[in-house]
Amino acid sequence: MRRRVLATAFVAAASILVSAAGPASKLVVLVVVDQMRADYIDRFRGDWSSGLRRLVDRGAWFTRAAYPYLTTVTCAGHATIATGAYPHVHGVFSNTWFDRGRGAVTPCASDPGANAISYGGAGNSHTGPAALAIPTLADEMRAKGGHVVTLALKARSAIMMAGHGGDSVTWISESLDSWETSTAFAAGPNPVVKEIGRVHV
């Protein structure tokens, strides 16, 4: 099931980028694999072909990269990768935290001012980049006329990697039955994602 979802995600990303970018455009592909140990690249490199192998052989590979802080949970890590800043600067230090103003535990991608845009499910979440205090690499690319597409299994991953905007910022809904985005990124469904349709699980 995960392979099918990831394959669909990569096809969607490629389709969106091809439709949004002109022939002279350049492409940055950043793949973040949650909980993938650094030694897995050496261990499994011989088993990879095409996609991952090409990224390792021809892409930038930082062999001494490290997080000089605790803890390395998904949301904080994605925000750090996306911004190049530490959690005390970008504002995202965990997956959830207690928000005194709201009097509740708040997910890192919670955004009360944003509403879900669903591609077939209920779509009742309020997610967006409200907690992210600074621009991401994707934000800087957009400011220079670039196009940004993020696809992830979770909202927090897609949102933190995109930053404060994007051509298509898409994730699988909490109910696991459809793609979803947010009014923080779009006024309505992206036509390419909509064409792919519902996620079948």
Q: One of 8, 74, 127, 136 is an active-site residue; which one?
A: 74
Any idea which residue has 């592909």 for tokens? 29
Residues 6 and 3: their CA atoms lie apart, in Å, by: 5
Q: How confident is the model at residue 169 (pLDDT cuts 50, 70, 90)?
A: very high
Of residues 42 and 165, the one with the higher pLDDT is 165
| Range with lowest mean pLDDT among 10-14, 64-68, 171-175, 185-189 | 10-14
Residue 106, phi then psi, degrees to nearest 5: -120, 130
For the segment 184-195, the average pLDDT, to the nearest whole number, is 90
Average pLDDT of the chain, as a whole number: 84
CA nearest 123: which of 53, 173, 85, 76?
173
Instruction: Judge whether 74 counts as a catalytic residue.
Output: yes
Q: What is the mean pLDDT of residues 163-183?
A: 92
Q: How confident is the model at residue 50 (pLDDT cuts 50, 70, 90)?
A: confident
Query: In the chain, how long is the greatest CA-to-CA distance?
Result: 51
pLDDT of residue 197: 62
Question: What's the pLDDT score for residue 77?
Answer: 93
